[in-house]
């Protein structure tokens, strides 16, 4: 099966960036591009729905006019009403008019007036844009191309992909925070395939562009059987997430705020927590977390927020819930006192269900190697799940993934299915028992993990099909082995020094005895 790049419309986006160069700061490109794409999507969906109604009532003009003008006909299908003066056709027709910026702002305003649920989502910012009219017309021409039509399944998260492109390519400081806004679709698909959200509450406390919700909605047989809740700390990203979920007919409540320091859903208990939190946050405000915070199962440290995120996820699970999330590789082996203590608690209390080590270069915006953690509260053998509280499934997928560019890899559908099927076999009582596969997966008992100093790196447990190349060994494991080897060599060196010193002393002693004998003999003669 062919593996597709995360973004296959760079040329058009680069053209759009060139239209704004010199008039707009590179970090702000996305703020002007995304609303235009969203506006076109809304217009396309509304026009398509109008055409369907016109065809249904083609033989009765009076009924046709009545149904086409009835806003409830569209809302029932999660389609937003787009007034004529806000339609993409109208905007294209007037793209070269001197008041096109005013037309765009008015289009945003009119759509919000017709659809109150979009209030605050569509920004009216184009009249304040220091961009020549002909450049604005050029942007409209670019986003009128088929690649931005939103008509195919491949464009399911085109807003998120566009956002990723701009934060990674045009020097925005937002793009340097470990991929927190956008998770590559193959990782999202893998998380969803492993968690299997079919009904209940889905919670993403670092929801970014909303890609986790979109993929979960696609997985469920009936997306209305899922309720979505999300939190995000950046205003513009909250707006993007709302655009994305509304575009795909998903009702998600997304709130603004710092999830760790200002939890907007303190009472929420979810069936599924799915997230890609920002990696390795330092100075995140640990001193503001009360020792009586109900989320805490262990200590926190300001040097890294990774294990505070884990405690946050665990707290928000209901009694049978599961959490799957992206995490930096360092979390698997960290020896920072507070982090290691929480990791030990998660292992000893039987919460860690599975750890997947991923290939490098999956993220478009960061080279940080990452893994997937799965925490679960359904490991006691009830409700159709296999009893597995004293076991952890380790999967080493580092050798998977195919290059889609010089800088990026992607997991194929077959690879995603292979990983997910192993996890299902591990979870369910009715499934065929999961088998250990040398070099790929292993079910380890807690005792083995405890004996390995609670380290959770899959490659330590699954073994290898053949001798590993040095470059395939995780940095954390490699540095630990090198440190151990160096200390052993220091110890050997010290022993050798002592032996040499002892030999020298003995030699000096013997030479001294010999000198005394010679002195006595010469004196007697």
Mean pLDDT, residues 135-153: 80
- Please list, in sequence order, all residues whose beta carbon lies within 8 angstroms of the beta carbon of residue 342, skipping any fewer than 6 positions away: 297, 298, 299, 307, 310, 311
403 forms beta bridges with 409
Least confident of 234-248, 383-397, 473-487: 473-487
Token pair listed for 485: 């080897």
Mean pLDDT over residues 164-185, rounded? 57
- Cα distances (angstroms) measured from residue 90 to each of 35, 76, 98, 324: 16, 25, 15, 44
The Cα 415–Cα 401 span in angstroms is: 8
**In the prediction, which pLDDT does 360 show?**
87
Per cent of the chain over pLDDT 70 is: 82
> Residue 299 pLDDT > 90, yes or no?
yes
Q: Is the model's pLDDT at 4 over the cut of 60?
A: no
Higher-confidence position of 367 and 393 = 393
Top-confidence residue, 199 or 494:
199
pTM: 0.77
At 378-413, the pLDDT tens digits run 999 888 899 999 999 999 999 998 887 777 788 999
Mean pLDDT of 341-346: 97
Mean pLDDT of 473-498: 72
Query: Looking at the predicted structure, is the pLDDT value of residue 153 above 80?
Result: no
Spatial distance between the Cα atoms of 74 and 103, rounded to a whole number of angstroms? 24
C-alpha span between 449 and 427 (Å, rounded): 19
Confidence of residue 473 (pLDDT cuts 50, 70, 90): low
Instruction: Encode 191-236 in three state secondary structure.
Output: HHHHHCCCCEEEEECCCCCCHHHHHHHHHCCCHHHEEEEEEECCHH
Over the chain, what is the mean pLDDT? 84
Q: For the segment 433-457, what is each residue's pLDDT rounded down to a tens digit?
A: 788 999 999 999 999 999 999 999 9
Residues 155-184 have a mean pLDDT of: 58
pLDDT of residue 459: 93
Write out the two tokens for 431: 């499934």
Q: Render pLDDT for 407-433 as a digit per residue (tens, 0 to 9).
A: 778 899 999 999 999 999 999 987 777
> What is residue 511's predicted lDDT score, i.e. its pLDDT?
65
> For position 513, what pLDDT does the model report?
57
- Listed ranges 55-64, 209-218, 379-388, 484-493; the one with the highest mean pLDDT: 379-388
Which DSSP helix (H) or strand (E) runs through 462?
Answer: helix 459-462
What would the pLDDT profile of 312-336 be if each residue is shown by its tens digit? 999 999 999 999 999 999 999 999 9
DSSP 8-state class, residue 380: B
Q: Which long-range contacts (CB under 8 A, 24 or more apart) does 329-332 make?
A: 329/357, 329/368, 329/369, 329/370, 329/371, 329/457, 329/474, 329/475, 329/476, 330/280, 330/306, 330/476, 331/306, 331/307, 331/371, 331/373, 332/357, 332/371, 332/455, 332/456, 332/457, 332/474, 332/476
Average confidence (pLDDT) over 180-204: 87
Q: What was the pLDDT predicted at 44? A: 85
Residues 6+ apart with CB under 8 A from 194: 324, 354, 372, 374, 419, 420, 423, 424
For the residues 75-87, what does the mean pLDDT come to?
Answer: 84
């Amino acid at each position: 099966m062919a593996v597709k790049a995360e973004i296959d419309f760079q040329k058009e986006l680069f053209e759009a960036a060139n239209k704004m160069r010199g008039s707009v700061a590179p970090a702000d490109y996305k703020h002007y591009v995304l609303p235009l794409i969203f506006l076109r999507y809304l217009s396309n969906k509304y026009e398509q729905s109008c055409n369907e109604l016109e065809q249904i009532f083609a033989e009765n003009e009076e009924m046709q006019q009545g149904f086409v003008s009835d806003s409830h006909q569209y809302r029932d299908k999660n389609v937003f009403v787009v007034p004529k003066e806000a339609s993409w056709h109208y905007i294209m027709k007037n793209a070269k008019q001197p008041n096109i910026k005013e037309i765009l702002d008015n289009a945003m305003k009119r759509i919000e007036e017709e659809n109150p649920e979009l209030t605050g989502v569509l920004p009216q910012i184009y009249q304040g844009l220091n961009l020549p009219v002909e450049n604005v017309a050029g942007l409209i021409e670019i986003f009128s191309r088929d690649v931005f039509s939103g008509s195919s399944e491949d464009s399911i998260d085109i807003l998120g992909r566009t956002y990723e492109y701009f934060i990674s390519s045009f020097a925005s400081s937002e793009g340097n925070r470990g991929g927190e806004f956008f998770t590559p679709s193959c990782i999202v698909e893998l998380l969803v395939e492993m968690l299997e959200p079919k009904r209940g509450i889905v919670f993403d406390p670092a929801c970014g562009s909303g890609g986790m919700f979109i993929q979960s909605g696609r997985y469920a047989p009936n997306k209305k059987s899922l309720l979505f809740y999300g939190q995000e700390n950046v205003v513009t990203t909250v707006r993007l997430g709302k655009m994305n979920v509304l575009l795909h007919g998903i009702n998600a409540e997304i709130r603004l705020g710092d999830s760790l320091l200002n939890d907007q859903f303190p009472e929420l208990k979810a069936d599924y927590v799915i997230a890609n939190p920002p990696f390795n946050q330092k100075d995140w405000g640990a001193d503001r977390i009360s020792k009586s915070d109900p989320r805490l199962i262990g200590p926190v440290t300001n040097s890294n927020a990774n294990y505070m995120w884990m405690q946050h996820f665990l707290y928000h699970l209901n009694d049978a819930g599961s959490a799957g999330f992206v995490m930096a590789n360092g979390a698997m082996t960290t020896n920072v006192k507070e982090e290691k203590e929480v990791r030990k608690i998660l292992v000893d209390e039987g919460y860690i269900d599975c750890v997947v080590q991923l290939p490098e270069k999956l993220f478009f915006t960061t080279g940080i190697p990452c893994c997937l953690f799965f925490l679960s509260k359904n490991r006691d053998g009830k409700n159709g799940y296999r009893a597995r509280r004293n076991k952890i499934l380790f999967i080493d997928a580092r050798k998977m993934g195919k290059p889609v560019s010089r800088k990026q890899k992607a997991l194929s559908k077959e690879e995603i299915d292979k990983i997910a099927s192993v996890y299902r076999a591990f979870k369910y009582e009715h499934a065929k028992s999961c088998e250990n596969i040398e070099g790929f997966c292993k079910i380890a008992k807690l005792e083995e993990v405890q004996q390995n100093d609670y380290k959770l790196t899959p490659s330590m447990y699954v073994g290898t099909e053949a001798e590993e190349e040095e470059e395939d060994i995780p940095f954390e494991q490699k540095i630990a082995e090198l440190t151990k080897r160096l200390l052993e060599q220091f110890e050997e060196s010290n022993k050798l020094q002592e032996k040499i010193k002892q030999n020298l002393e003995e030699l000096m002693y013997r030479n001294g005895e010999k000198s005394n004998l010679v002195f006595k003999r010469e004196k007697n003669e």
